[in-house]
Amino acid sequence: MRPLARIYCESLMNVGVETMLVTSDRHPSSGVARPYELVLDTRVKQLNSWAAFAKVLPLVRGFCPDVMVAELVRDPRWMALAPRVPRFEMVHDDKPHDAIHARPAWEQAIFSRWSRSASKIAFSKYVAEAIGAEAIIPLTSDLEQSGVPALVESSRRRDFVVVGRMHEYKNLDICMEAWRMHTEGDAWRGDRLILIGDGDWNGALPENAEWRRARFQYREVLDDISHAKASVVHYRQPSQSGVQVLSMQLGVTPIVSTAGALPEMQPPAEQPVGIDDIYGLARRFDELADPVLAAERGAVCRAHYEKRYSADAAASVLQSVLASALQRK
């Protein structure tokens, strides 16, 4: 979550909020630490990680934070960083997508009480209702706006993409059946379905589909995503999706299922498709195979993103939420 945390931090700093980010170096796009970042090794068994933590602890305490925002904390030592200030926990999902997302039992035991003592921030009404969150903020994209390419015109639109971890919750078997149906019909225009990302899905790829199976940084895949006719976010078990907001940010229409908060975050004209509706998904492929229609609907999606989910829009809401905590302090 480090790139996403940076975007929220820098957006808050742009409106005058002094911010310090304590983070780890696990994201492939982490890069060099920025001036407001303190980067820690979360491997408790590594002796040198304790020396680094001891060095950072007085820096955080000396910063004297008014409020703390936690997101996916996995290192128990971080509970000592700012123990006596109002704390918010950002919660992305109402439940794990799969076994990979589930916390180990020892983490649940250590963090459950600490988590209960924090106010909850969710990124959708769906998750907020499931966990009883006190506030909802927009889920912005973790791609910095400076890296967003120009909107791609219709003559350069090609292919459909699936982006991220290729695991069962992404509903790939249904997607492949719908893609096979599309390519066997009259609406197919020679596009490919491109899977971008690593994972353990073991289903069969139909013709005119390919899997680029590797971890990636955005700079390596932006061209493929931004030129796509649509992005397939037709999941079985999501809360909300970073791929969905990324697609809209790039001016690419996300095709979503009825699961979780995916319908909630779509532009009004983009209706979801039932989780097991192969025919409905194939019809959506048929529609967006038209490059003119794909470009027009992608432009609408970008406008929707800029209004509802941009970093500035998210920071405005987040600032209000944090300010309310200080008023109650």
Of 21-35, 93-107, 144-158, 239-253, give the lowest mean pLDDT range: 93-107
**Residue 87 contacts residue 118 (beta carbons within 8 Å):** yes
CA separation for the pair 15, 22 (Å, rounded)? 20
Each residue's pLDDT tens digit, 57-76: 999 999 999 999 998 888 88
Paired sense of beta strands 37-40 and 21-24, if any? parallel
For residue 88, count CB atoms less than 10 angstroms from its CB and return exposed for 0-12, middle for 13-18, buried for 19 or more: buried
Query: Are the C-beta atoms of 47 and 62 separated by less than 8 Å?
Result: no
φ/ψ bin of 197: left (φ > 0), alpha (ψ from -120 to 50), beta (otherwise): left
CA distance 203 to 87: 43
Q: Which domains does the chain have, with CATH numbers?
A: 2-140+310-328 (3.40.50.2000), 145-308 (3.40.50.2000)
Chain segment 106-143, per-residue pLDDT in tens: 777 777 777 778 899 999 999 999 999 999 999 999 99
State residue 97's pLDDT score.
Answer: 59
Q: For 277, how many CA atoms within 13 A lie in the half-sphere containing its CB?
A: 16
pLDDT band per the 50, 70, 90 thresholds, residue 317: very high
For residue 26, pLDDT beyond 80:
no
Find the helix or strand (DSSP H, E) in which 293 lies: helix 291-308
Round the average pLDDT of the chain to a whole number and report it: 91
Q: Look up residue 33 and give its DSSP letter.
A: P
Q: Which two tokens stand for residue 44?
A: 């408790």
Q: Are 168 and 201 in contact (CB under 8 A)?
A: yes
